[in-house]
Structure 1
Amino acid sequence: MSSVALTIRQLTKSFRSNESITHVLDNIDLSVQEGEFISIIGPSGCGKSTLLKIVAGLDLEHTGSVRLGGREVERPSKEKGFIFQEHRLFPWLTVERNIAGELSLKDSQVRRKVDEMIALVKLQGFERAYPKQLSGGMSQRVAIARALLRNPEVLLLDEPFGALDAFTRSHMQEVLLDIWRHNKTTMLFVTHDIDEAVFLADRVVVLDARPGRIKAIIPIDLPHPRKRTGPSFQELRTVVLGALEKPEESRNDYEI
């Protein structure tokens, strides 16, 4: 039986200015098992990206507790990989140098690990290509490989496929699932797309509009590979949609 990788308790976040306070997240409670794939979905402005930044240690101005591997999150670290919507590759570095980062490719162990990551994200033959020579999907694969090279305990993905066309997005979802099955990395994946959330996740966390609160946590008990057109998939899609559309005042009545 897997153990708990990530624990979030009573997490509340507000942004303060001289004139006002904006409440972003309110009393978030969530436990994530090792190797679990969690999709987080909700309307724009509900705090999905802010939640990932807090888990990553990029935002420490909050109340409540965030613990990874039993340790309080107090700073960014290699235990937390972060993938943004934009790939954020260095344009002057090749694929293999972008993946290696500050590590030396002259080190045989680093060379081996970089080669393994390139094979894992299916970019053999592009080791010495530059970002301008890559498609959007290929660039995101480099970003994922760069994060995985550090063996993170959790991989945080903030709408990583949002800027891709529909065909490339579908392909990248399959690539990500292959990586997840291979590495067993715990993943938190933010998306606006219901189909994407259901296709990828073990559980879908539905957030309410600002301030972001958990409206429902929906198990996705479908085996992989999943068929988007199948009746079970469509039924779960309808459940997630229903949770998103549930009026705010009925939030506490909605349980899955």
Structure 2
Amino acid sequence: MPSGVAKFGVAALGGKIYVVGGYDTRRTVMVYDIAANSWASGPALPRGTDNVAALATADRLYAMGGEASTAFQVFDPASGQWSAGPILPRISFASAAAASGGRLHLVGGWNYSNSASASVASHSVFDPASQGWSSAAALSTPRNAAGAAAIDDRVYVVGGRAPGIRAADQQSLASVEVYTAATDQWAAGAPLPTARGSLAVVALGGRLYALGGESTPGTVSDAVERYDPATQAWTALPAMPYRSHGLGAVVVGDAIYVMGGFGGASDAVGSESMALYRYQP
């Protein structure tokens, strides 16, 4: 990448990968053209942010919350411009996000309070058709910095941290929760073999991939683990080429693109990675 970045949002749209924001409260947007194998600068975010959740639909890119609080920043690649969408129902800092059934699910996060630090269990759903937010069933375990991805009609929330967000008040989680929209219910999934927060999670070929993260405060992971819903089992795969947390990953075609993150524990300013890897399991 043109510069090292961690705790950013990433989404793919129209053959390009968008890396938005990043620690500490960046407005930058870096755009990777897959076919050209080149990077360019995109239009800057109206509001700088980190610990932001990013998702894309067929024609829009969404940057939700993070350091930008309840801001819902929407990018239209046709016009090349950002606009403000309907504000989030709550502050969503270090929330997990996944798109399923044409809707955007924003789950968990941190309460944005240094004096009374705690994770949250909230679950908000955005419908691009109606441009409205609604509430859905909350997580069983409040968590922040989890990963999320959707397979078929289910949203999987993987790992994360609780009860707080700082090294002194949090532990990494192995637990997995699975949401079914038809019943508006969460169920327990098979736990991660390696508890990790600040990890990246994607879905490819009907399976989940959990990459990197911080396994305990002070231990940065290069682990890659794959979950198969058919067998409800995790499998350890060859490790990433680098150790990273606060990294990003996105699926395009038959490949996972993995990038950035902190190489050092916690908010290790100066250890932000410029790496971009293409991974075909």
TM-score scaled by length of structure 1 = 0.32
TM-score scaled by length of structure 2 = 0.30
- Structure with the higher fraction of residues in helix conformation: 1
- Structure with the higher fraction of residues in strand conformation: 2
Q: Which has the higher contact order (CA 8 A, sep 6+)?
A: 1
